[in-house]
């Protein structure tokens, strides 16, 4: 029998967080019919072996392994395609997202097609918080978006809606806009956010600012050129 909920977790070099995250999810999802799909994005720090050991001991956890690092969008796309649940949740593996927020996101899926987490109180270095605020402001101005924290990976989706979304490299940042372009409903709720204790962040200003801006221009182009018509059969 397929699970009701699929939790998708892209992962790259997070060996010290795997067990902590796994137990946090188990505690948060008690009584739920769920699966967890780790997507190992070519880790080189021992995460691959750790995931194999964990998934052997916990049968509702499984792993997809990439031969080499392909990036977060590819990892999310692979997870979405392998998800078996009616509802899908995405989150980071760095223990900064809180699995205890997952039931709140799922409850909102009774009304909406996608629910975004909003890290209202972020626990990141000041430079990362400021750069994120600036990026969200520019992104929302140019894309005419109103989601305040599109960079938060903790999101929930209806599976049948995800099947309509085509992702390209870097486009995971614009999932709320892509959903709205297909006519789906999107909302956001406040979620917890914790400081990173183990491992290193894979993102910084230098490796995301220019690429994210180019991706934003592409999304704006897509919105302007999306076909919009109705057929009158009378």
Residue 197, number of CB atoms within 10 A of its CB: 11
Mean predicted confidence (pLDDT) in 200-212: 56
For residue 68, being part of any structural domain is answered with yes
Q: Distance between CA 228 and CA 230 in Å, rounded?
A: 7
Predicted confidence band of residue 19 (pLDDT cuts 50, 70, 90)? very high
pLDDT in tens, 3-16: 999 999 999 999 99
What is the maximum alpha-carbon separation in the chain? 64
As given in the structure block, the two tokens for residue 179 are 């959903």
For residue 230, being part of any structural domain is answered with no
For residue 167, being part of any structural domain is answered with yes
pLDDT in tens, 46-97: 999 999 999 999 999 999 999 999 999 999 999 999 999 999 999 999 999 9
Q: Distance between CA 37 and CA 40 in Å, rounded?
A: 9
Predicted confidence band of residue 174 (pLDDT cuts 50, 70, 90)? confident
Burial class (CB in 10 A: 0-12, 13-18, 19+), 159: middle
Mean predicted confidence (pLDDT) in 227-234: 66
Cβ atoms 43, 15 nearer than 8 A? yes
Number of compact structural domains in the chain? 1
For residue 46, being part of any structural domain is answered with yes
Per-residue model confidence (pLDDT) at position 106: 98
Cβ atoms 121, 152 nearer than 8 A? no
Per-residue model confidence (pLDDT) at position 76: 97
Rg (CA), the chain: 18
**Higher pLDDT among residues 187 and 174, named by residue:** 187
For residue 109, being part of any structural domain is answered with yes
H or E element in which residue 109 lies: none
> Residues with Cβ < 8 Å from 133, sequence gap 6 or more?
none
For residue 234, being part of any structural domain is answered with no
Domain with 185 in it: 5-224
As given in the structure block, the two tokens for residue 103 are 């039931």
> Which residue spans within the chain are E strands per DSSP?
5-11, 34-40, 61-65, 87-90, 114-118, 155-158, 186-190
The domain spanning residue 81 has which CATH number? 3.90.550.10
For residue 39, being part of any structural domain is answered with yes
For residue 229, being part of any structural domain is answered with no
């Amino acid at each position: 029998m397929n699970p009701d909920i699929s939790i998708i977790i892209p992962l790259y070099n997070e060996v010290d967080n795997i067990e902590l995250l796994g137990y946090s999810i188990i505690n948060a999802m008690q009584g739920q019919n769920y699966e967890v799909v780790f997507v190992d994005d070519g880790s080189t720090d021992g995460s691959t072996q750790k995931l194999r050991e964990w998934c052997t001991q916990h049968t509702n956890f499984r792993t997809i392994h990439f031969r080499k690092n392909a990036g977060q969008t590819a990892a999310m796309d692979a997870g979405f395609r392998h998800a078996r649940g009616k509802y899908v949740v995405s989150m980071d593996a760095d223990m900064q997202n809180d699995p205890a927020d997952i039931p709140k996101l799922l409850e909102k899926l009774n009304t909406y097609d996608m629910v975004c987490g909003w890290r209202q109180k972020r626990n990141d270095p000041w430079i990362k918080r400021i750069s994120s605020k600036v990026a969200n402001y520019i992104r929302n101005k140019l894309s005419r978006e109103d989601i305040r924290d599109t960079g938060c990976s903790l999101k929930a989706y209806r599976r049948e809606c995800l099947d309509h979304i085509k992702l390209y490299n870097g486009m995971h940042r614009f999932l709320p806009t892509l959903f709205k372009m297909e006519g789906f409903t999107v909302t956001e709720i406040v979620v917890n956010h914790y400081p990173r204790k183990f491992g290193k962040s894979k993102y910084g200003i230098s490796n995301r600012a220019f690429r994210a801006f180019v991706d934003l221009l592409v999304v704006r182009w897509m919105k302007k050129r999306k076909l919009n018509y109705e057929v009158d059969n009378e």
